[in-house]
Structure 1
């Protein structure tokens, strides 16, 4: 099954040599003998010709806000709607989670409660799941028909499903602890409050559930392949 990775941003250049770019992280996270991957740099307007060009789609994270004025956002929203209408399975992570919600009629905003950085624990369909996060924007109103499958006190719409066609997650199962540490160093200063970054650092290295969520994402694609 071929998964098209729709890249909507780039990892920080100082971290890229060791950690790779966002598509590299997902290729590692979702490594499975029945899955192959193709990359599309949609941030720079490299779009698939058709929603059936791949068997499934994954939208990455990004520094951009879904509500911002960027050339790639309107065609990406159009692609999302066409893909979901056609029943092609789609997964969205962080920005991907947000842009799918926005494309389907939900609302994304800069959250007045601030940032989520580092390990966060969610109620994921009745079970605790800990994943790394890095976001201030949130889905503040989910689209009609979207069902919440994960939340916590900070993020009410932490994961959503759209029928049998789309699965979206606000946190970053693809972010290893070392990469989050790198983000704290390269992107955090002057943007994320220092006490929040210090608290995130204390939680790193204690393990998380990215493997469980990776299996869930892979199973989601394979069941529909």
Structure 2
């Protein structure tokens, strides 16, 4: 199965000498599941044309520094791609910004949260178990880095991950072919720490310190990646 990575952002410039591009993070995440996926990347944020939905086997919409409320020339075409993909029942995953823009395009409300930044490893309650994650435990701990949130989920979405800080952290859509998560199962711990440290001086030091300390807690990113791989292969 070929996964098409719809790239909407990149590793922040100060970290690029130390970390691989986002597309490689996703490729590594999927490779570890042993499913034998192949990949192509389309950088829509740099103006590359969106792929034709006919024959598209699966799509991943990446994280980004952009917000759904920004005035960027590629945002409306991305919304159109999401809506058409949803109607076409193209298997589609959104992560962080991808999660937010999918919700925005499909009728949800996305805003900068008054709760501020979510950094480090957060724990989310499993609110519902679709078929691809029937074996999920009661809670999943995954890295995050975001200030925007899905405030209200689209009518067609069911909340599958939730926390007090991020009530709509995971959404599975009723067409059976769309899935999104606010946290980042593709992030390695050293990159999560580096992102948190990048906020130092812009947010309270205590928040950054707590984020760095949170990485000592066990992660379920590998398990979440396996659920995502199952989501794609069962389609």
TM range (shorter): over 0.9
Among 175, 196, 199, which residue is 1:184 paired with?
196
Distance 1:179 1:46 in 2: 27
Residue 40 of structure 1: SS of its match in structure 2?
Answer: strand
1:19 aligns with 2:30: no
Distance 2:124 2:227 in 1: 15
Among 172, 179, 183, which residue is 1:171 paired with?
183
Distance 2:202 2:49 in 1: 31
Distance 1:57 1:159 in 2: 17
After superposition, the C-alpha distances for 1:78-133 in whole angstroms (9 at most, x for unaligned) are: 00000110011000000000000000011100000111100100002361100001
After superposition, the C-alpha distances for 1:135-166 in whole angstroms (9 at most, x for unaligned) are: 11000011111100010111110000112010
Partner of 2:114: 112
Q: Aligned-residue CA RMSD in angstroms?
A: 1.3
Distance 2:42 2:51 in 1: 11
User: 1:123-202 counterparts in 2 under 5 A?
Assistant: 123-124=125-126, 125=128, 127-163=138-174, 164-186=176-198, 188-202=199-213
After superposition, the C-alpha distances for 1:1-52 in whole angstroms (9 at most, x for unaligned) are: 1110001001023433442111110000111343111000011121334113
After superposition, the C-alpha distances for 1:150-195 in whole angstroms (9 at most, x for unaligned) are: 1011111000011201010000111111001211233x02333211
Task: Give, in angstroms, the shift of residue 204 of structure 1.
Answer: 1.5
Partner of 1:212: 223
Length, aligned pairs only:
223
Distance 2:173 2:213 in 1: 35
Distance 1:105 1:7 in 2: 22
Residue 62 of structure 1: SS of its match in structure 2?
Answer: coil
Among 37, 40, 43, which residue is 1:41 paired with?
43
Q: Which 4+ runs in 1 deviate beyond 3 A?
A: none
Distance 1:192 1:51 in 2: 41
Partner of 1:5: 5
8 Å Cα contact 2:109-2:152 kept in structure 1: yes
Residue 184 of structure 2: SS of its match in structure 1?
Answer: coil
5+ long unaligned stretches in structure 1: none
